[in-house]
Amino acid sequence: MPDGAASARPASVPSDDGAVSTTPAPRPRRLAPPFAGATPRPGTDVPVLPAPQPAPSGAWQQGDEPGRRRFCDVGTLELESGLEIPDVTVAYETWGTLAPDGSNAVLVLHALTGDSHVTGDAEPGHPTPGWWSQMVGPGAPIDTDRYFVVAPNVVGGCQGSTGPASPAPDGRPWGSRFPHLTVRDQVGAEIALARALGVTSWHFVVGGSMGGLRALEWALCGPEAGVDVESIGIIASGAQTTGDQIAWAHPQIAAILADPHYNGGDYYENADGVGPHVGLGIARQIAHATYRSATELDRRFGRIPQNAEDPLRGGRYAIQSYLDHHAHKLASRFDANSYLVLTQSMLTHDLGRDRGGVESALASITAKALVVAVDSDRLFQPIESERITRNVPGAWPLQVLRSEHGHDGFLIEFDQLGPVVRHFLKRLVTRRG
């Protein structure tokens, strides 16, 4: 993900009637064992240090450094399945101040392996910089000097909101017992957060990729629950999961389930190094290939070997090393169960379910809509964005980012996306006035 430029500042937060819990005290992280020494990669003379042994899960846990997270207890979450999750907590971050009339609230929703740290530097509690720092901040397109911006971590995730790594009522991690979630279930928790924060209307709800799925559901679920949604931004996303997306997700799920350390989802009490890291890493490699375009991967890497490694003698190509890097990076900061829960929630995404079909559901959206596609996106293809634009009555003409970066263009092409979002928000304010 791109480096962020804007730094986050503590925000002024409206009264929440006591719903925001006290930030837990930090607890020390378990230290990885020391390296045992260098060994050569098979078939090469290149010495390779063994990787440090990570904890079984990269999930944030109570007692970890909270960083800029805040925590809201939203009570019992009733699921579409008929099941319930008791004592749900939503982790979130805010920037800016809510206007007295509540007219300036903006909700930013993250993608699959993102979190609430939308903008700001890497710091204790946040090992990576904000994933949209060039879009959110003082003077940015989503200007925190003007707007009260809220970014929650999705329920089912692993960065402070209730998920599989969280304690169940018996005090042990949920693990294999954590129920299946839908996108609507996740939005239900975010509606409860909005109420706790005193937000009765969102000026703008925006998300990319998985965040766009939730933004679409917000456009319908929010008004039904008494939280108005004035406008939405659907970026590199769709109204219904496609067969192609389900096909790409299937081997990712299978890779995690096949990991011998997955243990059916109950691995949190394992020793360091004994977690489903290999399966999660393979899942990430499959996914990352869909996040980038064939053109970019061939231009950047082609058939170039990785440094001194010789592919004819067991070494890797540079593209293989690149995917290995992203696999290891995710395994150190994410949770395999959360990856499964969130991926499976995306597979069930269908805005038209129980609403008369996708076109009927889109046609019932009253919010103004900004829909943005990436021309080289092979995960959420532009035709899916066109479908939204064509059927939402208040949609602007489809905006297309020209990029060779594929799906990840919404995290990279700020020189194109920024002006589009800034202009859309400016027009909203002009029309409101």
How do the domains of the chain map onto residue ranges? 39-240+350-432
| Residue 116: active-site member | no
Per-residue pLDDT, 16: 30
CA dist 181 and 164 (Å) reads 11
Please identify which of the residues 209, 237, 293, 345 carries the catalytic annotation. 209
pLDDT of residue 54: 83
Does residue 324 have a known ligand-binding role?
no
* Residue 209 is a catalytic residue: yes
Rg value, the chain, Cα? 21
Prediction pTM value: 0.89
Q: What is the model's pLDDT at position 430? A: 73
Bridging pattern class, strands 84-95 and 47-48 = unpaired
DSSP state at residue 115? -
Strands (E), 258-323: none
Q: Does the 39-240+350-432 domain belong in CATH 3.90.110.10?
A: no
Averaged confidence pLDDT in the chain: 90
Residue 145 a catalytic site member? no
- Segment (H or E) for 271: none
The count of other CB atoms within 10 Å of the CB of residue 178 is 21
In sequence order, the β-bridge partners of residue 115 are none
In the predicted structure, residue 255 carries a pLDDT above the cut 90: yes
Task: Give the pLDDT mean for 10-35.
Answer: 34
Q: Is 408 annotated as a binding residue?
A: yes
For the cut 60, the answer to whether the pLDDT of residue 412 exceeds it is yes
Query: Which residues partner with 48 through β-bridges?
Result: 39
pLDDT of residue 377: 98
For residues 7 and 146, the model is more confident at: 146
Q: Could you tell me the pLDDT band of residue 433, with boundaries at 50, 70 and 90?
A: low
- Taking 60 as the threshold, does the pLDDT of residue 297 lie above it? yes
Identify the pLDDT of residue 51: 53
Q: What is the length of the chain?
A: 433
Per annotation, catalytic residue among 377, 385, 403, 405:
377
Euclidean distance between CA atoms 428 and 433, whole angstroms: 9
Distance (Å, whole) CA 280 – CA 238? 25
Task: Summarize pLDDT for 62-77 with one digit per residue, the tens.
Answer: 899 999 999 999 999 9
How far apart (Å, rounded) are the C-alpha atoms in residues 5 and 121? 7
What is the C-alpha to C-alpha distance for residues 414 and 150, in angstroms, rounded to an integer?
A: 20
- Between CA 325 and CA 249 the distance in angstroms is 20
Report whether 93 contacts 198 (CB < 8 A).
no
Tell me whether residue 432 is exposed, middle or buried, using C-beta atoms within 10 angstroms of its C-beta: 0 to 12, 13 to 18, 19 or more.
exposed
State which amino acid sits at residue 130: G
Answer for the pair 72, 180: CB distance below 8 angstroms, yes or no. Answer: no
Q: Report pLDDT digits (tens) over 190-216.
A: 999 999 999 999 999 999 999 999 999
